């Protein structure tokens, strides 16, 4: 009678948990793709493997509920003018006119 082989792999898209050289554990999950086609990954670190597994579950729950921004947000070029205008420091358009 042949013994069944235990499968230790996760399903595709479930993320990964691995140990670093420092002894810390890292949880990583792909939560979408950037505009250029590269995968967008969320990475968290923990002291123990069980904590890392809990972080991985938390990442997948946040992704499923839409709390993680998959679109990549805004670029720095788009953010800087908005930042200065909301802080009322000066307007980027007034500087460009000078």
pLDDT digits (tens, 9 = 90+) for 60-95: 888 877 777 666 566 777 777 777 777 766 555 555
- Residue 35 has a pLDDT of 75
**pTM of the predicted model, to two decimals?**
0.60
- Residue 96 has a pLDDT of 56
Alpha-carbon distance of 42 to 30, in angstroms, equals 6
- Read out DSSP for the chain? -PPPPP--PPPTTS-EEEE-TTS-EEEEEEEEE-TTSPEEEEEEEESSHHHHHHHHHHHHHHHHTT-S--S----HHHHHHHHHHHTTS--HHHHHH-
The single residue listed with the structure tokens 């009322």 is: 88
Summarised one tens digit per residue, pLDDT across range 18-61 is 999 999 999 999 888 877 788 888 899 999 999 999 999 998 88
- Residue 26 has a pLDDT of 96
């Amino acid at each position: 009678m042949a013994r069944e082989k235990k499968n230790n792999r996760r399903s595709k898209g479930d993320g990964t948990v691995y140990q670093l050289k420092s002894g810390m554990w890292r949880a990583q999950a792909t939560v979408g793709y950037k505009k250029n086609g590269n995968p967008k990954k969320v990475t968290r670190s923990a002291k123990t493997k069980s904590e890392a597994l809990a972080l991985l579950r938390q990442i997948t729950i946040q992704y499923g509920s839409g709390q993680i921004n998959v679109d990549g947000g805004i670029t720095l070029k788009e953010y800087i003018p908005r930042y200065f205008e909301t802080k009322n420091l000066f307007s980027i358009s007034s500087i460009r006119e000078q």
